[in-house]
Chains A and B, each alone.
Chain A
Amino acid sequence: MPSLLFYLFALITLGFGLMVVLARNPVTSALSLAMSFVGLAALFISLDAFFIGTIQILVYAGAVMVLFLFIIMLLDIKAESDRKTNVAAIVGAIVLGSVLAVQIATVSAAHHQSDLTLNEAALNLVAAGNQMAATDKDLPTISKDLKAGILPDTKLMGLALFKQYGFHLQVMGLLLMVGTVGVVVLSKRDKEVAR
């Protein structure tokens, strides 16, 4: 993954991220958020997290952005009239953002692995494959791919999710259930308008 591509995608992510904040028209900011997520997905893929990258595009760029656009259209929210821009808020925001960024930058520089490149943190797939084959027999496909030197990211992700974090998945189910019920309760049209 040549470094050029990394900088391209980083630029896309941050550029469109800035567009989201600065855009007057909510639709433009929604779409620029989608593009920013796409850039982000690319970064995920550069980190060999293919499953998360695709999920990012499917769920975030797809479902969440569509939801936002749908709501913006439904409520027909006009572009923000710039008569009363809250200068104090903007100045505050800039200060907050820059100070936070500086803090995070200084700390990330101090991280013990900060100067480790992707190649140095190489994955040793074959060894993992043999080790996997040795430990649990009933997952031949994963160990076969590993031995073949390709990273079955989605399969490993499935393994982690359903084997290690099965309980949490159920709780996520419960959470989504509550989310939907919440949506129904909160947005059902009432006979007369709320006082």
Chain B
Amino acid sequence: MTPPAQDTTASLPTLLLMLPFLTALSILLGHKLLKGASVVLSIASAAICFVISLMLLDARDSAPMLLPFIEIGKFRIGLDAMIDQQSRGMMFIVTSIGLLVHLFSLGYMKEDEGKVRFFGSLSLFMFSMTGIVLAGNLFMMFIFWELVGLSSYLLIGHWFEKPSAAEACKKAFLTNRIGDFGFMIGILMLFMANHGDVSFSGLKGGFAEGPLHEMTQTHTLFMTLAALGIFMGAVGKSAQFPLHVWLPDAMEGPTPVSALIHAATMVAAGVFMLVRCSFVIEASPDAATIIAWIGGLTALMAALMATQQNDIKRVLAYSTLSQLGYMVMAVGLLAIQVSVNHHEAGPGHPAMFHLYTHAFFKAMLFLGSGAIIYACHHEQDIWKMGGLMKHMPVTFVTFAIGTASLMGVPFITSGFWSKESILGVGFEACRPLFWIGVATAMLTAFYMTRMFVITFLGKPRTESAHHAIEAPIIMVLPLVVLAALTVLSTFESFNRLLAAMIPNHAEDHPTVMIASIAALIIGSSVGFLLYRGKNSDPLNIKLFANKFYFDEIYAVIVKVLQDQLAWIVNGLERMFVDGIVARLPAFIAMRIGSAARILTGGHLQAYTFLLGAGVLMVIYLVVFVLPQLGH
């Protein structure tokens, strides 16, 4: 039973994939022996993976087979990698931010007694994320899809004693699982349509001239459903509109987790996968429009919600939601461009480029907020902070760079370029969505300036804010590095160096530029004027603060559709199925049995009568009845 032979080019990706897994496994098994060493082990593995991903940057495209999974005759599901520009870029993001988060959490989690378990789960996450990035076929993608869900469950639920964290991790996993339900249906439909080959190259070939080609003409509904199925996987993972409720609650996890998973990498996996299977979406125009609209709506809605949040991490969480909406909208719009307007797709992809830039500054913002929380003795409410500019200068500077890039300050920030490319595509493909994009940009500017002003400017509102001092060096260093990366990623050459899939800037329509700059100015000025020197929130919009009451709606749905239905079904099953199949025959047998017992009632006269009657019956049966029946 030796696994099939491996070719040499696969050794690097295999190491990249297996190293974190082995680290996680050794931490699980030997955490008593390793004690402190496990933390070092996990950081070492993150560092090695970063180095390997750098080496991979200039490797040529290849699709090596890494590990066998299921092999029956010619049917084969295997862990085979697919190294191309997109995966190399993403790999760089994952490993770099992963390493920085490892370092940051070294400080952040110093006095947490579950530290060993935390780093074990982090390594498990790195393993699953690498699996998604390198995945060569949809099955492998699905496998690591669920593993990522598991690691987010472990990390969110790290402080499982807190009931809120326990609920949050359960909610995250279940929402992901609902997304995976749709994802698997999509995969199975493609599996069926493409004669069993769901590797990306096989699917691309299928759509080009294989069985799927004429399928797109003849069975549009089938292809649309397949595309939407695949999209549902992304909705679950990247927290798009119907299944977005778990991301804000995921803030229950430690901040480094939020930074790594819920800002940069995991939530981006959905967009990464959509871009990977863009040819599936391009195959059905109405799927593309649906995707675009869901992206747009999510972006707008999340932005509206963010305006009324008081917890620093929640604001950032909603901003991530909004930016993800942008990326999904970009995927949809580009698909519309290709399928409806028959533009041939350019080299890069606006969604990937925005994902790329967003990863850096959003991770930096989250780590910054982590430093602030750490400094203010785990205080998360921005209204209890204030005036931190003086107390925490370095964090202030990095935070400012991040905010600027997020708001999309024109020309000097990477955020601007990536947002610009999306709005550009939006302008041509679908005008209404373009205006929604602009509105979201404005809102983004508004709530970021609001947060920035409340936290850093003005006077410290509480004691802890007053005594806040700069976070230790181990936590500030990653901030600085990330700030540097954010700044660098505005330059074309740096991005090309890091294979960041930059779309070529076809000359956009001037209104795009003007609209985005106007949105920025209006949003930030209103935010600045409204919140400067205030000690409480002037606006009080219940609808946004309570997140459009989605949590309550979903709770009702779950309660009615599942718990009460379960109670009813349980009762019915006990009464009918158990009753009819088990208790009824037993009752009948008992009834007949007790009736038959009267026959042996002890009276001799009854016996003689019965015997006589028996004889008569036998005679009647044999002599008169059976001959007629011709039995």
Docked-complex contact B616 and A89, CB < 8 angstroms: no
B616 is contacted by which of A86, A100, A107 (Cβ under 8 Å)?
A: A100
Residues of A66-120 whose CB lies within 8 A of B? 86, 89, 92-93, 96, 99-100, 103, 107
Beta-carbon nearest neighbor of A103 in chain B: B619
Query: In the complex, A147→B609 CA distance in Å?
Result: 52
Q: How far is the CB of A24 from chain B (nearest CB, A)?
A: 18
Docked-complex contact A103 and B605, CB < 8 angstroms: no
Query: In the complex, A95→B612 CA distance in Å?
Result: 11
Docked-complex contact A99 and B609, CB < 8 angstroms: no
B605 is contacted by which of A89, A99, A100 (Cβ under 8 Å)?
A: A89
Could you say which residues of chain A place their CB within 8 Å of the CB of B623? 103, 107
Q: How far is the CB of B122 from chain A (nearest CB, A)?
A: 89
Could you say which residues of chain B place their CB within 8 Å of the CB of A86? 605
Docked-complex contact B616 and A103, CB < 8 angstroms: yes
Mask, B605-620, CB within 8 Å of A = 1, is 1000100110110011
Interface size on B, residues (CB 8 A): 9
Query: In the complex, A103→B619 CA distance in Å?
Result: 8
Docked-complex contact B612 and A96, CB < 8 angstroms: yes
Q: Is the interface of A mostly helix, strand, loop or mixed?
A: helix
Docked-complex contact A89 and B619, CB < 8 angstroms: no
Q: How far is the CB of B206 from chain A (nearest CB, A)?
A: 83
Beta-carbon nearest neighbor of B610 in chain A: A92
Query: In the complex, A89→B607 CA distance in Å?
Result: 11
Could you say which residues of chain A place their CB within 8 Å of the CB of B619? 100, 103
Could you say which residues of chain B place their CB within 8 Å of the CB of A89? 605, 609
Could you say which residues of chain A place their CB within 8 Å of the CB of B612? 96, 100
Mask, B580-614, CB within 8 Å of A = 1, is 00000000000000000000000001000100110
Docked-complex contact A92 and B616, CB < 8 angstroms: no
Docked-complex contact B620 and A96, CB < 8 angstroms: no
Query: In the complex, A89→B620 CA distance in Å?
Result: 21
Docked-complex contact A96 and B605, CB < 8 angstroms: no
Beta-carbon nearest neighbor of A92 in chain B: B609
Docked-complex contact B609 and A103, CB < 8 angstroms: no
Query: In the complex, A133→B399 CA distance in Å?
Result: 143
Beta-carbon nearest neighbor of B620 in chain A: A103
Beta-carbon nearest neighbor of B616 in chain A: A99
Beta-carbon nearest neighbor of A97 in chain B: B612
Query: In the complex, A55→B42 CA distance in Å?
Result: 116
Q: Is the interface of B mostly helix, strand, loop or mixed?
A: helix
Q: How far is the CB of B474 from chain A (nearest CB, A)?
A: 100
Query: In the complex, A142→B592 CA distance in Å?
Result: 64
Residues of A2-59 whose CB lies within 8 A of B? none
Could you say which residues of chain A place their CB within 8 Å of the CB of B605? 86, 89
Could you say which residues of chain A place their CB within 8 Å of the CB of B609? 89, 92-93, 96
Beta-carbon nearest neighbor of A89 in chain B: B605
Could you say which residues of chain B place their CB within 8 Å of the CB of A103? 616, 619-620, 623
Beta-carbon nearest neighbor of A93 in chain B: B609
Query: In the complex, A60→B620 CA distance in Å?
Result: 32
Q: How far is the CB of B621 from chain A (nearest CB, A)?
A: 11
Query: In the complex, A15→B616 CA distance in Å?
Result: 24
Query: In the complex, A28→B387 CA distance in Å?
Result: 131
Beta-carbon nearest neighbor of A100 in chain B: B616
Query: In the complex, A171→B612 CA distance in Å?
Result: 30
Could you say which residues of chain B place their CB within 8 Å of the CB of A99? 616
Q: How far is the CB of A78 from chain B (nearest CB, A)?
A: 20
Query: In the complex, A100→B616 CA distance in Å?
Result: 7
Query: In the complex, A89→B609 CA distance in Å?
Result: 8
Q: How far is the CB of A150 from chain B (nearest CB, A)?
A: 41
Query: In the complex, A107→B615 CA distance in Å?
Result: 15
Query: In the complex, A96→B612 CA distance in Å?
Result: 7
Beta-carbon nearest neighbor of B619 in chain A: A103
Query: In the complex, A73→B243 CA distance in Å?
Result: 103
Query: In the complex, A103→B613 CA distance in Å?
Result: 13
Query: In the complex, A100→B609 CA distance in Å?
Result: 13
Could you say which residues of chain A place their CB within 8 Å of the CB of B616? 96, 99-100, 103
Q: How far is the CB of B603 from chain A (nearest CB, A)?
A: 9
Could you say which residues of chain B place their CB within 8 Å of the CB of A96? 609, 612-613, 616
Query: In the complex, A23→B623 CA distance in Å?
Result: 34
Mask, B33-70, CB within 8 Å of A = 1, is 00000000000000000000000000000000000000
Query: In the complex, A99→B615 CA distance in Å?
Result: 11
Beta-carbon nearest neighbor of A96 in chain B: B612
Could you say which residues of chain B place their CB within 8 Å of the CB of A100? 612, 615-616, 619
Query: In the complex, A48→B616 CA distance in Å?
Result: 32
Query: In the complex, A107→B622 CA distance in Å?
Result: 12
Q: How far is the CB of B509 from chain A (nearest CB, A)?
A: 108
Q: How far is the CB of A18 from chain B (nearest CB, A)?
A: 18
Q: How far is the CB of B614 from chain A (nearest CB, A)?
A: 11
Beta-carbon nearest neighbor of B609 in chain A: A92
Q: How far is the CB of B619 from chain A (nearest CB, A)?
A: 5
Q: How far is the CB of A87 from chain B (nearest CB, A)?
A: 12
Could you say which residues of chain A place their CB within 8 Å of the CB of B613? 92, 96
Q: How far is the CB of B16 from chain A (nearest CB, A)?
A: 95
Q: How far is the CB of A114 from chain B (nearest CB, A)?
A: 15
Q: How far is the CB of B381 from chain A (nearest CB, A)?
A: 93
Query: In the complex, A67→B612 CA distance in Å?
Result: 27
Beta-carbon nearest neighbor of B615 in chain A: A100
Query: In the complex, A93→B609 CA distance in Å?
Result: 7
Mask, A106-138, CB within 8 Å of B = 1, is 010000000000000000000000000000000
Query: In the complex, A103→B612 CA distance in Å?
Result: 13
Query: In the complex, A99→B605 CA distance in Å?
Result: 18
Query: In the complex, A146→B268 CA distance in Å?
Result: 125
Beta-carbon nearest neighbor of A104 in chain B: B619
Q: How far is the CB of B511 from chain A (nearest CB, A)?
A: 108
Q: How far is the CB of A158 from chain B (nearest CB, A)?
A: 35
Query: In the complex, A86→B605 CA distance in Å?
Result: 10
Query: In the complex, A93→B623 CA distance in Å?
Result: 22
Beta-carbon nearest neighbor of B605 in chain A: A89
Q: How far is the CB of B616 from chain A (nearest CB, A)?
A: 6
Beta-carbon nearest neighbor of B606 in chain A: A89
Query: In the complex, A55→B495 CA distance in Å?
Result: 131
Query: In the complex, A92→B611 CA distance in Å?
Result: 12
Q: How far is the CB of B5 from chain A (nearest CB, A)?
A: 90
Excluding A96-B616, A103-B619, 15 further A-B contacts by CB distance (< 8 Å) are A86-B605, A89-B605, A89-B609, A93-B609, A96-B609, A96-B612, A96-B613, A99-B616, A100-B612, A100-B615, A100-B619, A103-B616, A103-B620, A103-B623, A107-B623
Chain B residues within 8 Å of A, Cβ to Cβ:
605, 609, 612-613, 615-616, 619-620, 623
Chain A residues within 8 Å of B, Cβ to Cβ:
86, 89, 92-93, 96, 99-100, 103, 107
List the 9 closest pairs (A to B, CB-CB), nearest first: A96-B612, A92-B609, A89-B605, A103-B619, A99-B616, A100-B616, A96-B616, A107-B623, A96-B613
20 contacts between A and B (CB under 8 A): A86-B605, A89-B605, A89-B609, A92-B609, A92-B613, A93-B609, A96-B609, A96-B612, A96-B613, A96-B616, A99-B616, A100-B612, A100-B615, A100-B616, A100-B619, A103-B616, A103-B619, A103-B620, A103-B623, A107-B623
